Amino acid sequence: MNYFQTPYIFHRSSVRSVRQAQGKMIVEGTGRLTVMPDKAIIHIGVMTENKDVEAAQNENSKRSQQVIEALKKIGMTDDDIQTLSYTIHPVYDFVEGKSILRGYQIQHVFELTVRDLQKAGVIYKTAVSAGANMAGSLRFEVTNEQSYYQKALQLAMKNATDKAVKLGEQIGVTIQQPPVKITEAPSVIKPKELSLSIAAEASFQAPPPIQRREIEIEANVSTVFEY
């Protein structure tokens, strides 16, 4: 009886040792793409101030409408001109430790979508000439962002696999493919943003030149390979 039990116990122990010898390798992969943008987002606004809040609102509404109409005349649509924020702030003067209400400040900020980048300078000049007086920003974007990200994700996966295979060769083991686990990290898209400033009584003889800047799209994965 004991004779037959011994090989059986040894067999189970051998299987257990083989399983313990199996290893796992965690490898990070990164994929990057650099693409040229095909649209831009401009933030620009109208600010008015008056002792009477209603007068400040009326003036802001008038100037804002002038900006909208001027932009439409050069081909922008309602979809291209969106209100980003509209705020009313009380303005105080501090005299001898006391705050005295001076009036109210109205800020109406627009988000302009520029679909023809060659017109970015013209659009900015038009908005300022029509009454926009708040500094904003210009950000370049790409329309089919997700398709580029998927390509970056493929590059990240290839990068992780190549690293795992090379590491396996260095330590003398064979990496099993595909990986047993893949974790995608949050996407990283780095649009180029420019700050815009508006001087008092700004005027333009010609539209400012605005050059496109590349956008970097990055994907990251964490993979687990067995060997």
pLDDT in tens, 131-169: 999 988 899 999 899 999 999 999 999 999 999 999 999
Strand spans (E) along 124-168: 134-141
Q: What are the percentages of helix, strand and coil residues in the chain, rounded to 5?
A: 35, 40, 20
The yes-or-no verdict on residue 194 having pLDDT over 80 is no
pLDDT in tens, 205-214: 666 777 777 8
Residue with tokens 């539209």, as numbered in its chain: 207
In angstroms, the CA 119 to CA 36 distance is 16
Q: 10 Å Cβ neighbour count for 179?
A: 23
pLDDT higher than threshold 50 for residue 218: yes
4 vs 224: which has the higher pLDDT = 224
CATH code linked to domain 39-141:
3.30.70.2970
What whole-number distance in Å separates Cα of residue 19 and Cα of residue 17? 5
Which CATH fold topology does 23-37+143-192+211-227 show?
Translation Initiation Factor IF3 (3.30.110)
Block residue for tokens 């932009």? 71
Confidence of residue 6 (pLDDT cuts 50, 70, 90): very low
Can you tell me the distance from the alpha carbon of 46 to that of 214, in angstroms, rounded to the nearest whole number?
Answer: 30
pTM, full prediction: 0.73
The secondary element (H helix, E strand) that includes residue 61 is helix 53-73
Tell me which DSSP letter residue 117 carries: G
Q: How do 188-190 and 215-226 pair as beta strands?
A: antiparallel
Tell whether the model's pLDDT for residue 98 goes beyond 50. Answer: yes
- Position 205 scores a pLDDT of 62
The residue behind tokens 């209400």 is 101
Q: How far apart are CA 98 and CA 55, in angstroms?
A: 25
Q: How far is CA 80 from CA 68, 123, 225, in A?
A: 10, 11, 48
CATH 3.30.110.170 domain extents, the chain: 23-37+143-192+211-227
Which part of the chain is CATH 3.30.70.2970? 39-141
The token duo for 214 is 């590349």
